[in-house]
């Protein structure tokens, strides 16, 4: 690994965060951080929240059919009247941001220039904020947390319809610009797809891999008659999950433009769409604010609103990458108990040069946020393989 550059390549033409309608308020062109959101954007958000019109549901109470309407109404009231984006914006902008030709990333450098570099890749419906709690635990390594193209805080790109494999190429390019020729990669959800594409296509640069989920397509590859019982069980669980819970993925894959209008024009719709997933996929025991305190919950949602990124965040669903065949990079797989679908070891072994396969003690899909110390422990095991 070569020593990192001081800040990456800073670009003066960066005029916005990600989506349309958001520009810098007195932009500092030497600042790699996401620009300030215009006050008019926040005023418009409050106006829309105050104009929320409750809608009739099916009559089924609770969360079984989606976001509970009573909870949503109170959350929207709090968002409109109590929440202050500026407080969280300052915290976000104070992170050690860097810019390269096509990427904005949090770039936390270790004191030792020769330390290992670790790339942390977020998923949907989150952002770099997934990794806030692990940054203080990884000060002895160089950490790069890219804002994935099309997601909150990302650098604006002419082509926003990037697959996970396309994003991997952007990140490989950015890591070279930052001065790293070899690094450890960790990812989950969409970030796992980017991580596996990096490892598959740039094995000379990826020293080790850590993932918190296994590609579901692996369960449907190969001769079904030759699969183990646990692999066949995984196929059945995936099919059942797609039927009961996978409608969001189908809609984001097939009709993303329709959904983007509904969510991009209505903060109530956006909150309902995102919060339901944060609750369903985390180990929260039914209380989403047990894992995501309200201020943080609203910050994750507001990040999508002020950047206008919800529509472009669907790109990896719409433009899917070729399935992974085999990754010959030393790999750590750590699946947490409340992960959406957990794969058996036999499936992971077919895909990866598997060195560690363990479950977390608690937590779910957002393990870096839910269980930061335990998550970092698995990252360090990958670092030890590099």
256, 281, 316 - which closes a domain:
316
The verdict on 78 and 184 lying in the same domain is no
The verdict on 281 and 339 lying in the same domain is no
Q: Which strands make up the sheet holding 142-146, listed edge to edge?
A: 97-99, 104-108, 142-146, 117-121, 183-187, 206-211, 327-335, 352-359
Residue 88 annotated to the active site: no
In the Cβ-directed half-sphere of 137, how many Cα atoms lie within 13 Å? 16
Domain count, the chain: 2
> Of 107, 142, 202, 365, which one is the catalytic site residue?
365
Residue 189 annotated to the active site: yes
The verdict on 139 and 179 lying in the same domain is yes
The verdict on 117 and 218 lying in the same domain is yes
> Of 14, 126, 189, 213, which one is the catalytic site residue?
189
| 28 is a domain residue | no
The verdict on 194 and 296 lying in the same domain is no
At 206-225, the pLDDT tens digits run 999 999 999 887 766 666 66
- Taking the complete model, does pTM exceed 0.85, yes or no? yes
The verdict on 311 and 358 lying in the same domain is no
CATH of the domain at 156: 3.40.50.1820
301, 316, 331 - which closes a domain:
316
266, 300, 316 - which closes a domain:
316
The mean pLDDT value for 92-112 works out to 97
The verdict on 221 and 273 lying in the same domain is no
Instruction: Provide, rounded to the nearest whole percent, the portion of the chain with pLDDT above 90.
Output: 81
Q: Tell me, what's the pLDDT at 225?
A: 60
Residue 146 has pLDDT above 60, yes or no: yes
The verdict on 104 and 84 lying in the same domain is no
Residue 365 annotated to the active site: yes
Tell me the backbone φ, ψ of residue 222, rounded to 5 degrees: 80, -175
Residue 15 has pLDDT above 60, yes or no: no
Tell me the backbone φ, ψ of residue 356, rounded to 5 degrees: -135, 130
At 262-280, the pLDDT tens digits run 999 999 999 999 999 999 9
- Cα 213 to Cα 87: distance, rounded to the nearest angstrom: 33
Domain extent at residue 303: 41-88+242-316
Q: Give the pLDDT band of residue 25 (cuts 50, 70, 90).
A: very low
Q: Tell me, what's the pLDDT at 22?
A: 34
């Amino acid at each position: 690994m070569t020593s990192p550059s001081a800040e990456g390549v800073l670009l003066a033409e960066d005029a916005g965060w990600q989506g349309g309608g958001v520009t810098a308020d007195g932009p500092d062109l030497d600042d790699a951080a996401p620009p300030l959101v215009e006050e008019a954007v926040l005023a418009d958000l409050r106006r829309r929240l105050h104009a929320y019109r409750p809608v009739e549901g099916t009559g089924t109470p609770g969360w079984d059919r989606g976001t509970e309407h009573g909870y949503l109404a109170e959350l929207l009231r709090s968002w409109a009247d109590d929440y202050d984006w500026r407080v969280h914006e300052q915290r976000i902008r104070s992170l050690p941001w860097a810019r390269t030709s096509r990427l904005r990333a949090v770039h936390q450098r270790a004191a030792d220039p020769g330390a290992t570099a670790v790339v942390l890749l977020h998923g949907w419906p989150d952002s770099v904020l997934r990794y806030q709690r692990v940054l203080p635990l990884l000060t002895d390594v160089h950490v790069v947390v890219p804002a994935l193209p099309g997601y909150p805080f990302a650098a604006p790109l002419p082509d926003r319809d990037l697959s996970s494999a396309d994003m991997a190429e952007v990140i490989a390019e950015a890591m070279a610009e930052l001065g790293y020729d070899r690094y450890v990669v960790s990812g989950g959800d969409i970030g796992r797809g980017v991580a596996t594409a990096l490892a598959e296509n740039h094995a000379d640069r990826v020293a080790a891999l850590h993932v918190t989920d296994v590609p579901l397509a692996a369960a449907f590859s190969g001769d079904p008659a030759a699969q183990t019982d646990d692999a066949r069980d995984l196929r059945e669980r995936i099919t059942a999950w797609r039927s009961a819970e996978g409608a969001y993925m189908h809609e984001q894959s097939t009709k993303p433009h329709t959904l983007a209008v509904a969510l991009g024009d209505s903060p109530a719709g956006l909150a309902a769409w995102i919060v339901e997933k944060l609750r369903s996929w985390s180990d929260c025991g039914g209380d989403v604010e047990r894992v995501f305190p309200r201020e943080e919950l609203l910050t994750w949602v507001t990040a999508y609103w002020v950047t206008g990124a919800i529509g472009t965040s669907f790109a990896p669903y719409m433009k899917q990458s070729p399935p992974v065949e085999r990754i010959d990079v030393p790999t750590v797989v750590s699946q947490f108990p409340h992960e959406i679908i957990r794969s058996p070891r036999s499936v992971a072994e077919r895909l990866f040069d598997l060195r560690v396969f363990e479950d977390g003690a608690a937590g779910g899909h957002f393990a870096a946020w839910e269980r930061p110390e335990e998550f970092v422990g698995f990252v360090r095991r990958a670092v030890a393989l590099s």
